[in-house]
A and B are shown apart, each in its own frame.
Chain A
Amino acid sequence: MAGNTLELKRISASAAPPPGIRETPVLAKYIDTTTCIGCKACEVACQQWNDLPPETTVQIGTYQTMPDMTANFWNLIRFSEYEDEGGFHWFMRKDQCMHCGDPGCLKACPAPGAIVQYVNGIVDFQQDQCIGCGYCMAGCPFNIPKLSSKTKTVYKCTLCVDRVAVGLEPACIKACPTGCLQFGTKAQLLEIAAKRVGQLREGGFKEAGIYDPPGVGGTSVVTVLAHADRPEIYGLPANPSIPLAVSFWKAPLKWLGNIAMIGGIVGTAIHYLRYGAKHAEGHTEGPAERPPESRAS
């Protein structure tokens, strides 16, 4: 992992504040589902760069490589046939970690440092810190992280953090032949996406739009959909958000959680010493307010 070359923005289960020192733009992947031909070059490029072995698959009546991603397969094109009064469509959407602005996986993670979010938006798993509890899987509204039965740790797309850290684009983007994948700052890509959406709307796709759901703090994947009013038909949740249980458990400011935890232990000890008995604490915190983007300049 490239933790020592990129600045940290957040660290899971850690009391130490991240030492943000300079402004880094949020980077993102652009996926134009309207010019993707489902060639799967990105699937193999991902495996090859990340040194992942090929999976054994079976034909199950679809062009899709396998039903879902695995610990060795982090990038999957989802194929779906869809028909309505507007006609027949065969959608192909590149699926992988969305690199949420507010990552549910990171919030859910109890292992210190196992999940980090870099200032550039990349959410990265550090397998050597991972305890394999699988909480991140429950915390992800996109069902992305996959537990390896071999290593008992969790894997997903790293947005090629090791390539990005040295100024290269992610492997999937490098391999894309049609230009439906692009890499850049999220601001740039949103501009490109807006232009493409305008073109699609002119061409008759009245509901064309950008998928960048606010429920997860936006994503570092900017997806252009011809039918943005119905992301479900592409296999995308309409309004993804971090599962409530995760929010309640981990969402408040981390330092608060940690202090509360230490305080709790101390308090419990005192309480025990004083009263010798224990009673349940009530969940009284209101909906979590996300800390503002920590951008020191």
Chain B
Amino acid sequence: MAATFGRGAMTNGWTDIANADVILAMGGNPAENHPVGFRFVMDAKRNRNAKLVSVDPRYNRTSAVSDSFTQIRVGTDIAFLGGLIHFALTRGRYHEEYVRLFTNATFLIKDGYAFDEEAGLFSGWDAGKKAYADKSSWSYELDAQGYARIDAAMEDPRSVFQLMKKHYARYTPEMVSTICGCKAEDFIRAAELITSTYKADKAGTILYALGWTHHSSSVQLIHAAAMLQLLLGNMGIAGGGLNALRGHANIQGGTDCGMGYHNLPGYIAIQKAGHQSLKTFIDAVTPKPLRPNAMNFYSNTDRFVVSQLKAFYGKAATKENDFAYHLHPKLPETAPGVYENWSWAYIFDHMFQGRMEGLISYGMNPVSNGPNSRKVLGGLSKLKWLVVAENFEQETSAFWKPNILELIGKKPADVETEVFLLPAANFAEKDGTFTNSARWIQWKWKAIDPPGEALPDQEITARIFLRVRELYAAEGGKCAEPVIKLNWWYSNPLKPSMDEVLREINGWAIQDVRDEKDPKTVALKAGSQLGKFLDTRADGSTLCGNWLYIGCYPEAGNLTQRRVTSDPSGLGAYPNWSFNWPANRRIMYNRCSADGEGKPWDATRPVLRWNGEKWVGDVPDFKPDSAPATTPAGAHDAGMGAFIMLPEGVARLFVPGQFAEGPFSEHYEPAEAPIPNPLHPSQSANPAVKRFTTEFDKLGEASEYPIVCTTYRLTEHFHYWTKNNPYNMQLQPEFFIEIPEELAKEKGIGNGEKVKVTSARGSIEGKAMVTRRIKPMTAGGKKVYQIGFPIHWGFLGKGKQQGSLANLVTPTIVDPNSFAPEYKGFLVKLEKA
């Protein structure tokens, strides 16, 4: 999403879903996994007569209350979305003016760019290396000033619009049917409903979750959905957007604050081996504008980086020493242009290869999380030490027990890993904030004290850190300086207060901050909390942990504690409820809610409008006083570009250079698929996927494992946590496997009988749930059965825990961009147990 729009988060918000006319739930099962937020879907149905369209491999809880359900084969979402793009483009069901104003449809692409339909590969493929060795053709034609050339009429055959039309010409309803296994007429019926929002006064939203992100082509999949929403004119408007539903209370906050290995808080890219000086780094990560009217907000990257360095290293970061940039670790280069990867699946690969000594695991359960629990066990058993901070004893901290270790054929005596289980407070036992899916940073107050010796995570971290620092100070060692010089300024170093941490995340002025236009004026006095992004300076006068969160704790106080329920717009924006990053904007890219002249496309749902002097409504995701173009409607430049985070100033239908597997989304089969790719059988799976090579990283063939399998969650449980709660266990007591009636008949399996599912990685047993909610389908001319099961059980917990770890069967294949594992689609065989 960040590649298409500039930021990777839910664009609108929960409350805004109620404004939609059409809601597409695909790649997610919001009724099951987001039942509270689902209220707004139901509100849209009740109050606006909105239509809910469910597209999924299973008829699920969302489908049960939908107006339209289409069953598709696991892992074929790009084909379905490509079909929708084709449908919209060929039947004139796209918002032409919106596309012209707000996307790169008008941009011209370099001559060398091509897609070989037969080979299924884009230009730049090196057959010998089996990789895209040269992606230079996936980019714009530039003029003498370095700006992209455009054709406002979108008629040039090299324009993104024409290239896109050509690319998706293959995705006919018949092809969708062949790939996805749904009937062409069912596809058309769904397509008519979904694309009905191309009209300026109609709004359609897409809700997705892990059903899209857990695939080997997940990033391309989300890009395809983004393209569709741009074509339909659904971005930036009320009731529109591309809405990634976050499943955990604070997963958005975690991502925003540098949870991934590849970035620091605020999505500042991690420094790489080549970035030896601050300047080299900033130059490398600061984009240059690609159109004269692009705001290119990331031109301010230097301010954010320097302010963050001040937060990290405090007084040790000075102008003279490049703000202690040398203390930051840099990602090592393993081959020219290739850097070490420390994303989830890679961590356990490194671990299994013996490249790690220890692991600290907070609030998660890697053995259960997988993929391929056995590989995780293999990795853990090679560690010297393992620290687990948790509420309950779980499979990871207990991995050394005979019944778990048995899964990899080992005994406790074979394993030397020293395991520490630290009792940790749970979410209700500590203060802090949750950043929800809608980007609301909401303060929560501790409800009760943690039991026994349990401590909040920040206290556990503080104790470990302070002790390690003491040891470094006394004994020295590798990489001592960053630890010793880390800015640990909290009033009580052993118990950092969450209030202080949030103030630091927001940031403050260290010295008086001067007005940039008038250096004689003090814009912000020393000691004041930052109020807005551009309060930051690159000269070391400001400190800020995460620039994205600026404004959540300004001088006025902790705005994440706001609970004002007034809704002046009547559109569910609630502008004074908590704080909504960025800059308290409720709907991102909201400039697109108005036409070239600044008039809302839909007067009944105005998000932003130009009043002659400034933009009014939601907090503009735009320069507030930048006038729209006065040229007649239809001219390209509607004033400043609407997508301020991208150097193009417009959203990307064609993504230059950035993706591993191509600038347009193409359907590739999952790594394990029941049929060869009907579009290009010679390149069936994603060409950019790299495989791990240990004994655990096996893939199966359809001949041996003919059944498609998927995994999911239940509303009755939360991950591997609620199996400790007898009430949740009562609601869903045991692991089960959902099996289509026809398949059960073929195999002689009765409802409730015990069955065994086996993949190339392992097998799992459980009770059969024979259902009509999953139907057999015909894909690529072949009859395909799909089965699936939820993930929530294991070895420990209440009730019957029979070692049913769903991830014993999932593959270690990951998306080449996001490195998310392909939990959602793989092959198995099924038998009676």
Contacts and interface: CB of A to CB of B under 8 A. Distances in A.
18 contacts: A34-B65, A35-B45, A36-B65, A37-B64, A37-B715, A38-B715, A39-B31, A39-B35, A40-B716, A56-B730, A59-B733, A59-B767, A60-B752, A178-B39, A179-B46, A180-B42, A199-B49, A202-B49
B715 A39 contact: yes
Given A39-B715, A44-B731, A59 B769 contact: yes
A196 interface: yes
A81 B730 contact: no
B598 to A, nearest CB: 36
Contacts of B668: none
Interface string A5-46: 000000000000000000000000000001111111101100
Interface stretch (A84-92, A123-131, A134-142): A84-92
B36 A177 contact: yes
A62 interface: yes
B59 A88 contact: yes
Interface stretch (B204-212, B387-395, B698-706, B770-778): B770-778
B727 A37 contact: no
Contacts of B799: 56
A196 B46 contact: yes
B38 A61 contact: no
A63 B727 CA distance: 15
A55 interface: yes
B20 to A, nearest CB: 15
Contacts of A35: 42, 45-46, 65
B43 interface: yes
A37 B34 CA distance: 11
B65 A54 contact: no
Q: Is chain B's binding surface mostly helix, strand, loop or mixed? A: mixed
Nearest to B62: A37
B72 to A, nearest CB: 15
B736 A177 contact: no
Interface string B726-740: 110111111110000
A287 interface: no
B769 A90 contact: no
Contacts of B715: 37-40
A230 to B, nearest CB: 17
Interface residues of B, number: 41
* Most chain B beta carbons < 10 A, residue from A48, A83, A178, A180: A178
B568 to A, nearest CB: 23
A56 B799 CA distance: 8
B174 interface: no
A90 B63 contact: yes
A37 B32 contact: yes
B716 A90 contact: no
Interface in A189-225: 196, 199, 202-203
B42 A178 contact: yes
A54 B730 contact: yes
A277 B184 CA distance: 84
Contacts of A203: 49, 67
A54 B727 contact: yes
B730 A177 contact: no
Contacts of B680: none
A252 to B, nearest CB: 43
Contacts of B769: 59, 61-63
Interface string B21-44: 000000000011001101100110
Given A35-B46, A88-B773, 14 more contacts: A37-B31, A37-B64, A38-B715, A40-B716, A41-B35, A54-B729, A56-B733, A59-B734, A61-B752, A81-B773, A178-B38, A178-B42, A196-B46, A202-B49
